[in-house]
Structure 1
Amino acid sequence: MCLASCQRTGGRPMRHMLRGLIGALGFIAAAALPARADTDIKFALDWKFEGPSAPYFVAIDKGYYKAEGLNVTVDTGPGSVAGIARVAAGTYPLGFFDINSLVKFNDQNPDKALKAILMVYDKPPFSIVTLVKTGISKPKDLEGKVLGAPAPDGAYAQWKAFVKENAIDADKVKIENVGFPVREPMLADGKVDAITGFSFSSYFNLLQKGLKPEDIKVLLMSDYGLVLYGNAVIVNPDFAKAHPKEVAGFVRATIKGIIETARDPEAAIKSVMKRNETGDEKIELARLKMALKDNMITEWVTKNGIGGIDVDRMTKSIEQIAVTYDFKEKKPAAADIFTAEFLPPAAERMPK
């Protein structure tokens, strides 16, 4: 009876049974396969786990990297200049370092061809930090004074351009090479009259030394003629070529981390403090807010979105770098230093 029935209906019951069996086997096979493994990415910061590093930890804690199939670990760094070599060597496929130093690094290592893929500090925190009692209120006042400057400091690397833009007689400024750990203590103790440094680092380090806000004077170099950009996410070219989707995913997730940090810095700082148990949360929150206001969420970023650059400005900044550095090769174009190929559309990059 069944055979006759199947023949009369064109064998539909048998086909339905086969389809069901095939579907069941497919489900069993899929269940037996291991889940897709996330791609491990080591990311190098320029410095310690401080307030301005919040976006990366927010992106980890909120699952933004995980959603892109990435398992991201973040390490501290040796400074905004020295760490570039880590990315060039492939020790870290991605890192957060000074784009101006990247311009020089590429000139000295033309075979590396590193590129920035996400501008984070639209305005750099390069600054001259001093105490009100020194009488230094403008760049020219540095003449006749002692300036403490760590040799590998990203801010000090811009000194010659800063001198030119502000008509400072550099011969009248004594430069003392100081180490990072003693920079602010030497200023607080009066052993130097001013220091170079990142504004949100030196300012709060001085507060922790017992100085009051009204005792401290910060001269942002971007307020005195420098058009330079600051720190950006830099990628190893071999890694970018082999893993373009992962790089784009890292950029997309990091931008989400920046947007969320700007939206709620009080919550974001918790992600930093989980990883910096000896830090002062009040200080780190204030440091983060300063970096957001002065460096990250600038007027240009508010209008154009997080992560991109103005090509004309980048071109001018390379000209300004040429004041502090003699290029071995020809001066690079903006496209040699920064690429927007991994950025999501501008609509997804607007601060909220």
Structure 2
Amino acid sequence: MTPLRTLLAAALTLLAVAPAVAETDVKFALDWKFEGPSAPYFVALDKGYYKAEGLNVTIDSGPGSVAGIARVAAGTYPIGFFDINSLMKFRDQNPDKAVKAVLMVYDEPPFSIVTLKKTGIAKPKDLEGKTLGAPAPDGAFAQWKAFVKENGIDADKVKIENVGFPVREPMLAAGQVDAITGFSFSSFFNLRQKGVPAEDIVVMLMSKYGLVLYGNAIMVNPDYAKAHPEVVKGFVKATIKGIIETARDPKAAIASVMKRNETADEAIELARLEMALRDNIVTAWVKANGVGDVDPARLAKSIDQVAVTYDFKAKPTAADIFTGEYLPPAAERKL
């Protein structure tokens, strides 16, 4: 064998035994179960968007849009998907844990009051004299005082009953409460699964009744972000691709959810996803400005509204809560 052939053979041998470039493992926590609205993350996984950024992402379900923030703060999950309004309160209570949002997903939150036509509740003031079922840790119920203020409701005339998440919709369906707080796309379809006809369900989105709040966002552990900025950038970029792909073809996207939740009803999860896309993700602002960013003036105003429901020790600024430093250029975020 000639020297050249010997070198080539040696080079080929090295290539054959060389290990593949290691991907960075990333644990990502959702707010809730594997349902329709979680499609963008599974699409990004199945389409290889995370892998293209050198990431091996593991996606886990979560305990709710509020409680899961502590997981990110502790570093159990360096990246999570939770409520930005609850983040404001969490940071105020834990000033040494500077968790920050890096990608806005729900440009308008799914916070809602859900009721049935038979109750006669058609507008916020109609809640007076009624019983409202609300889980104490519910992200929607956390906005109750601001909702009351914006709509001139006499809160003393509304009976609040603390109910568990699992029994919230069954109690409404059974007439044990007159209305409930919850995420629109959760409560609506939970009622449908209980046999309540769609035309009998009334959903009042708080965003349509005076609240300028944002909703759930991707947030990161500050120490992790400082140590791994490229990982955060890659995760954000891939997730945005997943959101855009899901918005373009929800029917295809829902297949990625069903692979992980085979007991779910595909038609219901598709409808749940389409509701979230319409009401919360693909808003007029997002269509004009792209996926993932916020309007700082609106975010500042939302902090003022949260201050109606919560007494800040040190009121945060918009820059304390959200940063766009990990977002790709606007051109890459257009729907």
Does the alignment reach a TM-score above 0.5? yes
Residues 20/318 of structure 1: CA separation in 2 closer, same or farther (3 Å cut): farther
Alignment partners' CA distance in 1, 2:257 and 2:24: 23
Alpha-carbon offset, residue 24 of structure 1: 6.9
Determine the structure 2 residue equivalent to 1:216: 201
Alignment partners' CA distance in 2, 1:150 and 1:76: 19
- Tell me, yes or no, if structure 1 residue 350 matches structure 2 residue 313: no
- Between 1:237-246 and 1:140-149, the stretch displaced more is 237-246
Alpha-carbon offset, residue 242 of structure 1: 1.1
SS in 2 for 1:222: helix
Alignment partners' CA distance in 2, 1:31 and 1:326: 62
Alignment partners' CA distance in 1, 2:17 and 2:36: 44
- Tell me, yes or no, if structure 1 residue 273 matches structure 2 residue 273: no
Matches within 5 A, 1:293-312: 293-312=278-297
Matches within 5 A, 1:194-273: 194-273=179-258
Alignment partners' CA distance in 1, 2:12 and 2:4: 12
SS in 2 for 1:151: coil
Alpha-carbon offset, residue 47 of structure 1: 0.5
Determine the structure 1 residue equivalent to 2:273: 288
Structure 1, gaps ≥5 residues long: 1-16
Alignment partners' CA distance in 1, 2:172 and 2:274: 24
Alignment partners' CA distance in 2, 1:107 and 1:30: 53
Alignment partners' CA distance in 1, 2:268 and 2:9: 59
- Tell me, yes or no, if structure 1 residue 341 matches structure 2 residue 332: no
Percentage of identical aligned residues: 78
Q: Provide the alpha-carbon RMSD of the alignment.
A: 1.4
Alignment partners' CA distance in 2, 1:26 and 1:125: 57
SS in 1 for 2:26: strand
Amino acid at match of 2:60: D
Alpha-carbon offset, residue 328 of structure 1: 1.3
Alpha-carbon offset, residue 213 of structure 1: 1.0
Alpha-carbon offset, residue 145 of structure 1: 0.3
CA displacement 1:264-294 (0-9 Å, x = unmatched): 0001001001111111000000000000000
Alpha-carbon offset, residue 236 of structure 1: 0.6
What is the aligned residue count? 334
CA displacement 1:139-195 (0-9 Å, x = unmatched): 000000000000110000000000000011101100000000000000000000000
Alpha-carbon offset, residue 301 of structure 1: 0.1
- Tell me, yes or no, if structure 1 residue 187 matches structure 2 residue 193: no
Determine the structure 2 residue equivalent to 1:143: 128
Alpha-carbon offset, residue 33 of structure 1: 3.1
- Tell me, yes or no, if structure 1 residue 121 matches structure 2 residue 106: yes
Alignment partners' CA distance in 2, 1:58 and 1:137: 37
Amino acid at match of 1:325: Y
Alignment partners' CA distance in 2, 1:33 and 1:335: 45
TM-score, normalisation: structure 1: 0.92
Alpha-carbon offset, residue 18 of structure 1: 8.7
CA displacement 1:189-224 (0-9 Å, x = unmatched): 000000000000000100011011110000000000
Determine the structure 2 residue equivalent to 1:110: 95
Residues 19/334 of structure 1: CA separation in 2 closer, same or farther (3 Å cut): farther
Determine the structure 2 residue equivalent to 1:69: 54
Alignment partners' CA distance in 1, 2:195 and 2:275: 19
- Tell me, yes or no, if structure 1 residue 160 matches structure 2 residue 145: yes
Alignment partners' CA distance in 2, 1:221 and 1:62: 34
Determine the structure 2 residue equivalent to 1:313: 298
TM-score, normalisation: structure 2: 0.97
Larger CA Rg, structure 1 vs 2: 1
Alignment partners' CA distance in 1, 2:49 and 2:33: 22
- Tell me, yes or no, if structure 1 residue 85 matches structure 2 residue 74: no
SS in 2 for 1:47: coil
